[in-house]
């Protein structure tokens, strides 16, 4: 039996009020300004040397997308007039040895995947190809096709890569694999590629957001250059004791604090820690995936039967309806906070560009949390309405699936 007062305290602890959101926006703007001025800031505000596409780009281009354990290779045709044609995509899975081993082996594996893709789709491996590369980790850009990895995130730790130019490393691997004519000509992260992919078709698109395993965003500054915010590292928001304990046990304590409250890599763990306090009689497994939390929140079966089946699969053999109902509330509490924080961050970026919200803004969003969580997108939209009132109609949130690879191809064309 749980203590109702504990549940109420948890709901209050995790709730992000409107005054708190307004403070979040002010603090976010301050961090953006400091980052742009080169001052110490939790937001890196990285120059990308890239601009939005015109929509007139034409041709067939190759693209790569590395942002997690799944690596994608794509071939895409651009027809101009903001229209795209046929595309081919193949996904490869990175093993633990690739993401935690030697960097040379990681990039050799990637180059090998590219060669497999080219042979499968009958592309001449001896020909010359310009390739766009979406690399979804913090880099210091030196040019359109140059970027030094600042640090690994998302549990990657391949040695010999931090502090090195990832384009040079991959081009060297392509040479070793006999693909000397295949060269990386443009480097971007997944947010920039998402923005680029949508803005090729929609000129109102001026924000790219990732809400998946990790989280980040980008936008064009006044000189029209796209700026990579690296908002996952924002650290001015209020933390609970659950957040502090999770951060302390993470592989990067003190870093990516916003990401640890919003992204799919961590939401399940936040739920687990909260649920342990709400349901002390249940022995939760060491790992509680975010997809479990999403499935539980989606469950509308009688007696939350599906939740019971899921719990049995992960080692919790016995649970009654009251247990499942409370666990579902824990999922709602955590995901509601995440969606409201995501909305606050989106509002911060839009009002940086357009303080009075006087024009239309399309926000291109990619990522499993936004796409697959049953209530996340709706809560983001409702929170934006709460923040802006009637002016929220100027903001259009658009799910832009598989945008990282598509955007990289458009960047290569541009």
The residues assigned a catalytic role are 154, 190
DSSP 121-140: TT--TTS-EEEEEEE-S-EE
Residue 148 burial by Cβ neighbours in a 10 Å radius (0-12, 13-18, 19+): middle
Beta strand 139-143 pairing with 205-211: unpaired
Contacts of 393 (CB under 8 A, 6+ apart): none
Beta strand 182-188 pairing with 129-135: parallel
| Region for residue 117 given its phi and psi (left: phi exceeds 0; alpha: psi -120 to 50; beta: otherwise) | alpha
DSSP 286-318: S---HHHHHHHHH--SGGGHHHHHHHHHTT---
Alpha-carbon gap, residue 229 to 235, rounded angstroms: 13
Other residues' Cβ atoms within 10 Å of the Cβ of residue 175: 13
- What does the DSSP 8-state code read for residue 185? E
CB-facing half-sphere around the CA of 414: CA atoms within 13 A? 24
**How distant, in Å, are the alpha carbons of 99, 192, 241, 408 from that of 57?**
35, 17, 50, 13
Decide if 112 contacts 91 (C-beta within 8 A): no
Which residue matches tokens 């479990």?
292
CA–chain centroid gap for 333, Å, is: 21
Strands (E), 136-211: 139-143, 146-149, 182-188, 205-211
CA-based radius of gyration for the chain: 22
Alpha-carbon gap, residue 91 to 93, rounded angstroms: 7
């Amino acid at each position: 039996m749980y203590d109702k007062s504990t549940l109420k305290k948890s709901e209050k602890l995790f709730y992000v009020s409107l005054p708190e959101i307004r403070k979040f926006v002010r603090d976010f703007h301050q961090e953006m300004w400091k980052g742009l001025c080169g001052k110490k800031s939790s937001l890196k505000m990285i120059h990308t040397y890239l601009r939005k596409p015109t929509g007139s780009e034409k041709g067939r281009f190759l693209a790569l997308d590395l942002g997690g354990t799944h690596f994608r290779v794509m071939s895409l045709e651009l027809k101009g007039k903001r229209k795209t044609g046929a595309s081919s995509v193949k996904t490869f899975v990175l093993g633990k040895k690739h993401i935690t081993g030697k960097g040379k082996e990681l990039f050799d594996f990637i180059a090998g995947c590219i060669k497999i893709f080219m042979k499968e789709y009958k592309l001449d491996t001896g020909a010359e190809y310009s390739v766009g590369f979406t690399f979804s980790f913090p880099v210091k850009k030196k040019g359109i096709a140059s970027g030094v990895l600042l640090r690994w995130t998302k549990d990657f730790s391949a040695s010999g890569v931090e502090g090195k130019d990832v384009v040079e490393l991959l081009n060297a691997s392509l040479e070793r694999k006999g693909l000397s004519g295949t060269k990386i000509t443009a480097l971007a992260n997944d947010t920039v590629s998402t923005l680029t992919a949508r803005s090729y078709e929609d000129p109102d698109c001026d924000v790219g957001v990732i809400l998946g395993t990790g989280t980040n965003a980008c936008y064009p500054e006044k000189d029209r250059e796209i700026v990579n915010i690296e908002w996952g590292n924002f650290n001015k928001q209020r933390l609970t004791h659950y957040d502090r304990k999770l951060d302390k046990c993470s592989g990067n304590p003190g870093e990516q604090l916003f990401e640890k409250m919003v992204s799919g890599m961590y939401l399940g763990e936040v739920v687990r820690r909260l649920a342990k306090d709400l349901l002390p009689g249940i022995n939760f497994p060491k790992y509680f995936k975010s997809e479990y939390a999403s499935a539980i929140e989606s469950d509308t079966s009688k007696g939350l039967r599906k939740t019971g089946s899921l719990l049995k699969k992960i080692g919790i053999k016995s649970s009654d309806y009251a247990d499942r109902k409370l666990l579902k509330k824990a999922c709602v509490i955590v995901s509601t906070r995440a969606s409201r924080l995501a909305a606050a961050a989106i509002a911060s970026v839009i009002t940086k560009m357009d303080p009075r919200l006087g024009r239309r803004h399309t926000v291109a969003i990619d990522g499993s949390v936004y796409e697959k969580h049953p209530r996340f997108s709706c809560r983001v939209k409702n929170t934006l309405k709460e923040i802006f009132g009637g002016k929220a109609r100027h903001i259009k949130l658009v799910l832009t699936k598989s945008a990282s690879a598509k955007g990289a191809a458009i960047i290569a064309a541009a």
